[in-house]
Amino acid sequence: MFFFKQVHRDVKPENVMIFDADFHKVKLIDFGMTRKCGSYVRRLIGSIPYSPPEVCDAVNNDILVSTAMDVWAFGVLLFCSITGNQTKKFLFEFEE
């Protein structure tokens, strides 16, 4: 996707398909929120626990789409997968 300058914008466990137990075949699905890198979108996008800070803290509705959004969401996905923590629980503990 990055080769075509597209940003998925909704990377989360529900959008990752695993086809075998050894993780040799993994695919990303649900491209409904995909936008071209460099375009502008409204504030409310994707799953909030996987959204990057610049999206959550946006004051106006014009948010510049960048590949960093998918990188952030993938990092949160990896964190949750490795630690077994769910994002909502982790975020609420982090805010306190």
**Crossing angle (nearest 10°) for helices 87-95 and 68-83:** 100
Q: Which of 10, 20, 22, 30 is catalytic?
A: 10
Concerning whether 62 is annotated as a catalytic residue, the answer is no
**Residue 45 neighbours by CB under 8 Å, 6+ apart:** 9, 10, 33, 51, 55, 63
Active site residues: 10
